[in-house]
Amino acid sequence: MTDIDSLNALEADVLAQVAGAADEAALEAVRVAALGKKGSVSEKLKTLGSMSPDDRKTFGPALNALRDRVAAALGERKAALADAALEARLASERLDVSLPVRESGLETGRIHPVSQVMDELTAIFSAMGFSVAEGPDIETDELNFTALNFPVGHPAREMHDTFFLPEKPNGERLLLRTHTSPVQVRTMRSTQPPIRVICPGRTYRFDMDQTHTPMFHQVEGLVIDKEAHLGHLRWVLEEFLKTFFEVPSVELRFRPSFFPFTEPSMEVDVRCRKLPNEVRIGEGDDWLEILGCGMVHPNVLRNCGVDPDVYQGFAWGMGIDRIAMLKYGMPDLRDLFSADARWLSHYGFRPLDFPTLAGGLSS
Ligand code: DAH
């Protein structure tokens, strides 16, 4: 039997379930249990057909109204749950755009200052028409010394503190090249003049203190032509040094010196200001020795198959680590090769900032 009290109780029960549904799935279950085909409200509606006309008049509108209220409550609860779900999702997926972005590999990776300086040298000398030549780190005695006019037994050989490899059965002793000058010989033997090359690379000497490491880097320069002379050498070095140190002008001082492979031989000093923690190139009243150079010795030309009566030329050799330390204010040479990631993150260069003359060498 249907009576008003039981309808009220049914409505109160369903509405309580609607209010208590924690999520949309639970609410759907409440809807099916009340308004589905066999739901509690639907079952009540089915009883209308078997009622007396008077009862139907009473209970018909009452039941329809109840069904409508339940349906409305379900709709409202559904909308509220959808809103709450959206709020929760928005809260959980919120992005704080004021946080710093995570560093990519590009930000943390660094180019070593020696590699950077080699790239800078290459950019500068390429613009002057030089190409780059390379040779092996393990050299023959002939290329490292003899062809460069170091006579066998000459004291200049001893000054190089050479690392020798074990002697071969035929008596030959290979060595770790003590300078990049053997690449001059290789180049002259394989290339017809005119020649304009730089030869950057690793070199080795048995020496270790604040300004010496057993492995270090040099760059050699070589120009061979019919009329190449010291005036050209001076211009090339001045242009190079002022571009490299990014200063408007440099002043050079040439002092006589001795190398077996050049005649005359000179050492070059650059005007600078020595401050407690830095050296400023291109100003001041101090002088800093920066490289060795000279006119290629006729014996060397001859040893390389170049006719000294037709061709002449000049060469120079410079320490790359030293000019890197000067330019970038690195006080101890040994730090360059200690593989300390903190040092590299401080002194290193961003990987995709290639040095160019137009875009800037060290920007
Ligand atoms: N090879 C010399 C050294 O290691 C540097 C040098 C001096 C190279 C004069 C040259 C030069 O080409 O002309 O001490």
Which pLDDT tens digit goes with each residue over 69-123?
A: 999 999 999 999 999 999 999 989 988 888 888 777 777 789 999 999 999 999 9
User: Ligand 1 centroid vs 291 CA: distance in angstroms?
Assistant: 8
355 within a domain of the structure (yes/no): no
Return the SS3 of 140: coil
Domain boundary among 40, 62, 92: 92
Q: Are residues 134 and 238 in the same domain?
A: yes
The answer as to whether 358 is a domain residue is no
Please indicate, yes or no, whether residues 80 and 116 belong to a single structural domain of this protein.
Answer: no
User: Could you tell me if 275 and 325 lie in one domain?
Assistant: yes
Distance 315 CA to ligand 1 centre (A): 8
| Residue 353 within a domain | no
Q: Are residues 167 and 32 in the same domain?
A: no
Residue 99 lies in a domain: no
The helix/strand/coil state of 38 is coil
Question: Are residues 10 and 127 both part of a single domain?
Answer: no
* Pair 233, 272 in one domain: yes
Please give the number of the atom of ligand 1 that sits closest to the Cα of 262. 13
Output the CA 278–ligand 1 centroid distance in Å: 26
Which among 162, 177, 179 is the best mutation to test ligand 1's pocket, defined by most ligand atoms within 8 Å of the CB? 179
**DSSP helix/strand/coil, 296:** strand
Same-domain status, 115 and 88: no
Give the pairing type, strands 131-132 and 195-204.
parallel
**Nearest C-alpha neighbor of 320 from the set 122, 175, 102:** 122
Tell me: do 84 and 157 sit in the same domain: no
Is residue 255 located within the same domain as residue 213? yes
Residue 149, in any domain of the structure? yes
> Are residues 116 and 171 both part of a single domain?
yes
Q: How far is the CA of 179 from the centre of ligand 1 (A)?
A: 7
Residue 334 lies in domain: 111-347
What is the Å distance from ligand 1's center to 321 Cα? Answer: 15
Q: What is the number of domains present in the chain?
A: 2
Q: Tell me which of 198, 220, 224, 314 to substitute to probe ligand 1's pocket, judged by most ligand atoms within 8 Å of the beta carbon.
A: 220
User: Distance of alpha carbon 279 from its chain centroid, rounded?
Assistant: 27
> If you take atom 12 of ligand 1, which residue's CA is the nearest one?
316
Name residue, tokens 């030959």: 172
The residue nearest atom 8 of ligand 1, judged by CA position, is: 317
77 and 120 co-located in one domain: no
pLDDT in tens, 209-232: 878 899 999 999 999 999 999 999
Q: Is-contact 21 27, C-beta < 8 A?
A: yes
Asked whether residue 162 is domain-assigned, the answer is yes
CA distance 254 to 44: 114
Residue nearest atom 7 in ligand 1 by C-alpha distance: 292
- Report pLDDT for 1: 55
Q: How far away, in angstroms, is 187 Cα from ligand 1 center? A: 15
Inside any domain, residue 330: yes
For residue 92, the CA-to-ligand 1 centroid distance in Å is 67
CATH number at residue 311: 3.30.930.10
Q: What confidence score (pLDDT) does residue 208 get?
A: 86
In a domain, 357, yes or no: no
Q: Give me the pLDDT at residue 108, please.
A: 78
Give 23 Cα–ligand 1 centroid separation in angstroms: 83
Distance CA 164, CA 175 (A): 4
Distance, C-alpha 196 to centroid of its chain: 31
Pocket around ligand 1 at a 6 A CB cut-off: 179, 181, 220, 259, 262, 292-294, 315-317
Q: Which residues of the chain have pLDDT under 70?
A: 1
Same domain membership, residue 300 and residue 156: yes
Using the structure block, give the residue that is written with the tokens 């330019």: 327
For ligand 1, atom 3: residue with the closest CA: 179
Distance of CA 204 to the CA centre of its chain: 27
How far is it, in rounded angstroms, from Cα 141 to Cα 150? 10
CA distance 250 to 235: 11
Hey, whose CA ends up nearest to atom 4 of ligand 1? 179
